[in-house]
Structure 1
Amino acid sequence: MASLEGEGPCSNAGENIWGGCARCCTLDLTFLGQPVQKMLVAKTSDGPVNALSSMEEFRNLDRDIEGSAKRWKKFVESECPEKEKFPQEWKNKSALQRLCIMRAIRPDRMTYAVRDFVEEKLGSKYVAGRPLDFAASFEESGPATPMFFILSPGVDPLKDVEKQGKKLGYTFNNRNFHNVSLGQGQEVVAEQALDVAAAEGHWVILQNIHLVAKWLSSLEKKLEQHSEGSHRDFRVFISAEPAPCPESHIIPQGILENSIKITNEPPTGMHANLHKALDNFNQDTLEMCTRENEFKSILFALCYFHAVVAERRKFGPQGWNRSYPFNTGDLTISVNVLYNYLEASSKVPYDDLRYLFGEIMYGGHITDDWDRRLCKTYLEEFIKPEMLEGEFFLAPGFPLPGNMDYNGYHQYIDDALPPESPYLYGLHPNAEIGFLTQSSEKLFRVVLEMQPRDSSMGEGGVVTREETVKALLDEMLEKLADEFNIAELMAKVGERTPYVVVAFQECERMNILTSEIKSSLKELDLGLKGELTMTSDMENLLNALFLDMVPESWVKKAYPSTASLGMWFADLLTRIKELEMWTGDFSLPSAVWLAGFFNPQSFLTAIMQSTARKNEWPLDKMTLQCDVTKKNREDFASPPREGAYVHGLFMEGARWDAQTGIITDARLKELTPAMPVIFIKAIPADKQDTRSMYPCPVYKTRQRGPTYVWTFNLKTRENPCKWVLAGVALLLQI
């Protein structure tokens, strides 16, 4: 990057700027609706703008923003700030330096800004999305050069291989085309196919090699063995899913280095996905059912449903808790089922169709209960009797088309489908900001990991990696408090109430975590001093501390978190302080910080246990009732007589209107507004009021999925389906 800026390929200045940009923490975009000076206030004392301002190239940036608030507010609130000129003299900064400023004030636009940067410096061919020419790539392959397909959801590279093979005479019928899907003891079959193909000049496809991690070293040796002396027509095609993170990468380097790597991403956006869904059919399909009007309407709605569920994954956990391999086979089978049911029934069996589509065809992929609810809700909104009774909208501004021919439907998509927007998926526009910000985070995490790590960085007065880590290590050891003395705490307690038991459990878990942190830091300290030999574990710890990542050994003993190391450690100290206050006399805090628990479920269960004991109610016949107050934590001086006040929750996908006491639409660019204090008490399950309620899942982090805690019923005047489609949830951490 430095060389692109004309600063020289090894310029310290270039490295410092880019490294600083990568390390610069991101802002919560709520500031966009507030005075621009608040951009200087971040989640840590060292905000992103302040962090940049400490570097020579960006000196006085913080003062300029504060002094020219109107200009900067206009720039920051621009829909596409990467296309705008920067205020004042900052517009004269280099392209790379402008990227750094953009990173600090609009992280959600960084993927677009980096794209423009690459196009400006390297040319448009590096950013143009062009279809893959498989035949051209095939020409570069050979007996020693396999083709390696990096799989993407909804894309089947096997079709390209089969098409090319058919053209050149390699087919299953000719017995010179071997297709082995790895798993379930297929390794031996794969090795036999490779041996035969190498000798006779056949083609071999090895699908999903990521499923047989233990066999990959044998595969590497087998490919190396056949790279010389094999038949000149011998070809190998390999496919594997990408590793979810660098640490879980298992494909041997030798296989990757010798292969032609190919990835073919599925189409992006509702427009492309809806066309692609419809492409699975033709005019004959539309005419095959005797009940043409019903068949066409439901088929088009199914295509829209398919496009929605396939593309919704781009919104991350707010889209789906887990990623699912929805494919065109799900759609085509669903249409076949639709045809059979319509031909056999006098009325449209909506309930049966929704069940088959949502629980079997598409639902067969789904493993998360909340995702199953989402899929079911989409089908309830898209496929119902009203779709045949007048104007019916699949999305705001997009009515279900009438009876058309095949080309007419494609033309209708081009003419009538609104521009790409989260509204097309039932989501709030903030969902796009969220996933763009997370994409930016991933990008700069990679950039940060690419920074040089050797000690030679210390030349010329630059602080070395070891010096940076040593300073951080000393600071952390100094701030960590002593472990909780469990025996001493137990001696202070009279009655072991459910709340006291939870407090002890939390203290024990905290002791395990802080003990691991202290011992690993002290060991690394000795290694840096040369008093101990550096082990691989110590090296991993060193790298994590330098990259502002929570070390893996700590993660295993900690609570779920997506925070960087600096924010994670500050949060840890707050948790310890809360525990110290609670265990002072073991009286329940006036308002409990629910996010501060390793296991929040245990505290919520303790509320039910405490009430059950007091009233002699059966625990399995009880539930929790949640009443959102209009107050904040500071407004409470004592706990309630029954239940507990909890604070520290945030809402994603919507917001809580404290005045009316209901869920309402989120404000633009306010991604995770804080909730007021919530009063939680236990009641008999048969007395629970579920009318006008949205069953809202509570998660520990924005990753959702396995971090599920509880379900809080929240009041709503809108149909709860709206909040289901919007992915509304409560979060304990943001």
Structure 2
Amino acid sequence: RLAFNTVFRKAIERAEASDDIQGRISNLTEAITYFTFLYVGQGLFERDKLIFLAQTTFQILLRSKEIELTELNFLLRFTIEHTYKSPVDFLTTQSWSAIALMDEFRGLDRDIEGSAKRWKKWVDSECPEKEKFPQEWKSKTSFQKLIMLRALRPDRMTYALRNFVEEKLGSKYVDGTRIDLAKSYEESSPATPIFFILSPGVDPLKDVEALGKKLDFTIDSGKFHNISLGQGQEVVAEEALKKAARHGHWVILQNIHLVVKWLGTLEKLLEEHSRESHPDYRVFISAEPAPSPEEHVIPQGILENSLKIINEPPTGMLANLHAALYNFDQDTLELCTREQEFKSIFFSLCYFHTCVAGRLKFGPQGWNRRYPFNVGDLTICVNVLYNYLEANSKVPWEDLRYLFGEIMYGGHITDDWDRRLCRTYLEEFMNPSLLEGDFALAPGFLAPPNLDYSGYHKYIDEMLPLENPVLYGLHPNAEIDFLTVLSENLFKTLLEMQPRNLLAGEVSGQSVEEKVKNVLDEILEKLPEEFNIAEIMQKSTIRSPYTLVCFQECERMNILIQEIRKSLKQLDLGLKGELTFSVTMEAVQSSLFYDLVPDAWTKLAYPSTYSLAQWFNDLLMRCRELDIWTQDLVLPAVVWLSGFFNPQSFLTAIMQSMARKNNWSLDKMCLTTDITKKSREDYGHPPREGAYIFGLFMEGARWDIQAGVIAEARLKELTPAMPVIFVRAIPADRQETKNIYKCPVYKTKIRGPTYVWTFNLKSKEKPAKWVLAGVALLLAV
């Protein structure tokens, strides 16, 4: 509050000193922006802080007429309805489709084709947001450059947006400042607690204890009370607060989000003890942020009265590997009588911990599901390592791998593919060759020799390569994908923060209702009629497994079409005022406005990551495929596997039809896949047995058509399409197991719950390489 008043007073003085009214307003705008940033922005994670700053910048620039609302709307929405194949090899289909969509930048596509070499150099540069655009495009405004960059290099938008804020507001907003607890303590008081918003890998207790040691507030002196809430510790906390308020002690209440029912009592106690308490009395609080607004449990009163502090978790291999080592000391390294083995495995274990924790940032390609790997897992594993080495004459590699991978870290893991990943990491990092010297933990990073504690830290600083997904076993493309997803989520949040009437009305001269009505009418006009199941069934008396799949798909499509038509007609009546506007109708209206698929449709549909425009085009394609199939109920020459609600049912039908034909037992069969060298157009009729399928994409690697094996992915080619795949069933004992990678197939990039099947793909490399790279086949990207 002191800082707030000081800065505000200075701003008023500057404003009053200005001769013109515009000068006064701009000075006050700057002051208010900066206060808000200080008291809101500093209590946010980096991503949220950037969203907050970008929204503030956009609003200021709109008011001062520096940017047009049409341009802002375009940047935030970026709706791509139709895709166009890129004529240049350095731009993806998505990027080229975005360029074709940009009416405000007519001629950009021609210039890129005409000066491909210059544009390729710009697109391929490491930080294109810092480079000048080729040709006359460099004269565009910085905001227009943001729009172009979002089309050409969406993965760099987080950095570009940060640069844009810095240019418009000043560097003080974007400079990362590590919060000094001593300064925050000076601003605190008995009535103003310090609230730590927890993030993974950050422990505020150490900082508080270090400050307490300097000021003589320690557990040994009896002036420091550390209570970790949960397990009935509320009574202990109440007593500690009472005692501390009377005698001027410090209290730290950890993880208050675990005691939801007691938080109301805590709010009252903090207010009660803040009055007439000892001037040295201080309260420190910590809690994890809620995953969603609905799960937010901390009372507003506690948050409003506290100084909120966030320390971002360390990012990158370098910071996290150091952080893993900081949990130990020289004494740990001297614990074991078998020093060489202990130190080697200990360091490898720290690297393993850093990999499994660091992979989380790469989303589903890193781990199918998110797991709370923590420092406790690592410290327990080090204790287990010490005990096992002391008790055995030989290093029990298999036992250690099992305990680390299945019990300690594996205890968190719920997905079978993630369990395979954890096991593969340990097989790579924990084996006898680790002790032989020249063992590489990652390309360009050898396991260190026998060093002391500070020597290991120095070795990391000097020998660890620059941050790269390769250090985790992933392909460099994983970084591009992760940054692109981050950027998309950021803009989605920014769009939802805009005033709806402003975005709808000022851009198109329409109200929200008129814009929604246009979208609604367009969907109803194109929505196909439902399939006549009775009529289709009469076309064939033979009920083969394939025809049953066709009937099931038509039935599910009918249910979805019925729901879309019903909800849109109800919304139409609601907009006309002929029907009472319900919560459901409001949710559909909001989704149509923001180009999102309504939840009511999603529940009856297939998993998809598309925006509404793309999703509806995809729905029409699925209906067309079913139309072709239902004409005569003959299996299409090449089946679009991605077009099924339930692709598993079609793959099972392949097994059933071959089991009947060959009189095989279904439970002793499996599918085998042969990747052809052809595309869909090369086939005129289906095979005698099995089926040809298409529509799959590979993530994490690519398929080498000539060699017929999985190969290293090409840079920036994130999800190359697969050729046609011939799928048939064989007895399980005949399947090939040598030089095979068991590749999971998922419906979307979300992976996890969208698992479909496992395809055995040929590989010259050992399968561990593809496991660590997170290689999978996807039905839609």
| TM-score relative to the length of structure 2 | 0.85
Return the match for 1:48 from 85, 95, 98.
98
Q: Distance in 2 between matches of 1:455 and 1:301?
A: 56
Q: Which residue of 1 aligns with 2:486?
A: 439
SS at match of 2:714: coil
**Using a 3 Å threshold, how does the CA distance of structure 1 residues 667 and 139 change in structure 2: closer, same or farther?**
same
Q: Which residue of 2 aligns with 1:242?
A: 290
Q: Distance in 2 between matches of 1:703 and 1:598?
A: 16
Q: Structure 2 matches for 1:82-481, cutoff 5 A?
A: 82-141=129-188, 147-161=194-208, 169=217, 177=225, 179=227, 181-182=229-230, 190=234, 193=237, 197=241, 201=245, 203=251, 205=253, 207=255, 209=257, 215=260, 219=263, 223=267, 227=271, 231=275, 232=277, 233=281, 235=283, 237-243=285-291, 256-454=303-501, 458=505, 462-481=509-528
Return the match for 2:583 from 532, 536, 543.
536
Determine whether 1:565 maps to 2:612. Answer: yes
Q: Structure 1 residue 51: deviation in Å?
A: 3.2
Q: Structure 2 matches for 1:480-629, cutoff 5 A?
A: 480-629=527-676
Return the match for 1:20 from 67, 71, 74.
74
Q: Structure 1 residue 311: deviation in Å?
A: 0.9
Q: Distance in 1 between matches of 2:216 and 2:566?
A: 63
Q: Distance in 2 between matches of 1:286 and 1:160?
A: 25
Q: Structure 1 residue 11: deviation in Å?
A: 3.9
The runs of 5 or more residues in structure 2 that have no matched partner are: 1-53
Letter in 2 for 1:14: E
Instruction: Judge which range, 516-525 or 234-243, deviates more.
Output: 234-243
Letter in 2 for 1:679: F
Instruction: Judge which range, 375-384 or 12-21, deviates more.
Output: 12-21
Instruction: Judge which range, 719-728 or 305-314, deviates more.
Output: 305-314
**Using a 3 Å threshold, how does the CA distance of structure 1 residues 505 and 147 change in structure 2: closer, same or farther?**
farther
Q: Which residue of 1 aligns with 2:701?
A: 654
Preserved CA contact (<8 Å) 2:263 2:298: no
SS at match of 2:703: strand
Q: Which residue of 2 aligns with 1:704?
A: 751
**Using a 3 Å threshold, how does the CA distance of structure 1 residues 28 and 398 change in structure 2: closer, same or farther?**
farther
Letter in 1 for 2:374: N
Preserved CA contact (<8 Å) 1:27 1:107: no
Letter in 1 for 2:636: P
SS at match of 2:411: helix
SS at match of 1:645: strand
**Using a 3 Å threshold, how does the CA distance of structure 1 residues 442 and 398 change in structure 2: closer, same or farther?**
same
**Using a 3 Å threshold, how does the CA distance of structure 1 residues 357 and 493 change in structure 2: closer, same or farther?**
same
Letter in 2 for 1:239: A
**Aligned CA-pair RMSD:** 3.1
Q: Distance in 1 between matches of 2:462 and 2:136?
A: 44
**Using a 3 Å threshold, how does the CA distance of structure 1 residues 158 and 598 change in structure 2: closer, same or farther?**
farther
Q: Structure 2 matches for 1:654-693, cutoff 5 A?
A: 654-693=701-740
Deviations 1:128-163 (CA, angstroms, capped at 9, x unpaired): 334333343355556765554433222233444555
Q: Which residue of 1 aligns with 2:25?
A: none
Preserved CA contact (<8 Å) 1:455 1:466: no
The runs of 5 or more residues in structure 1 that have no matched partner are: none
**Using a 3 Å threshold, how does the CA distance of structure 1 residues 395 and 656 change in structure 2: closer, same or farther?**
same
Preserved CA contact (<8 Å) 1:220 1:255: no
Q: Structure 1 residue 315: deviation in Å?
A: 1.1
SS at match of 1:454: helix
SS at match of 2:63: coil
Letter in 2 for 1:575: R
Q: Distance in 2 between matches of 1:81 and 1:482?
A: 48
Q: Structure 1 residue 92: deviation in Å?
A: 2.3
Q: Distance in 1 between matches of 2:63 and 2:224?
A: 50
Preserved CA contact (<8 Å) 1:502 1:603: yes
Q: Which residue of 2 aligns with 1:634?
A: 681
SS at match of 1:267: coil
Q: Distance in 1 between matches of 2:164 and 2:438?
A: 45
**Using a 3 Å threshold, how does the CA distance of structure 1 residues 440 and 506 change in structure 2: closer, same or farther?**
same
Q: How many residues align?
A: 718
Q: Distance in 2 between matches of 1:168 and 1:265?
A: 28
Q: Distance in 1 between matches of 2:507 and 2:774?
A: 51
SS at match of 2:578: coil
Q: Distance in 2 between matches of 1:460 and 1:271?
A: 47
Q: Distance in 1 between matches of 2:80 and 2:62?
A: 28
Q: Structure 1 residue 464: deviation in Å?
A: 3.0
Q: Distance in 1 between matches of 2:503 and 2:454?
A: 64
Question: What percent of counterpart residues are identical?
Answer: 61
Deviations 1:561-601 (CA, angstroms, capped at 9, x unpaired): 11111111111111111122222222211111111111111
Q: Distance in 1 between matches of 2:559 and 2:188?
A: 53
**Using a 3 Å threshold, how does the CA distance of structure 1 residues 733 and 411 change in structure 2: closer, same or farther?**
same
Letter in 2 for 1:51: L
Deviations 1:602-632 (CA, angstroms, capped at 9, x unpaired): 1111211222222232221111111111111
Letter in 2 for 1:408: G
Q: Distance in 1 between matches of 2:720 and 2:494?
A: 30
Q: Distance in 2 between matches of 1:227 and 1:197?
A: 11
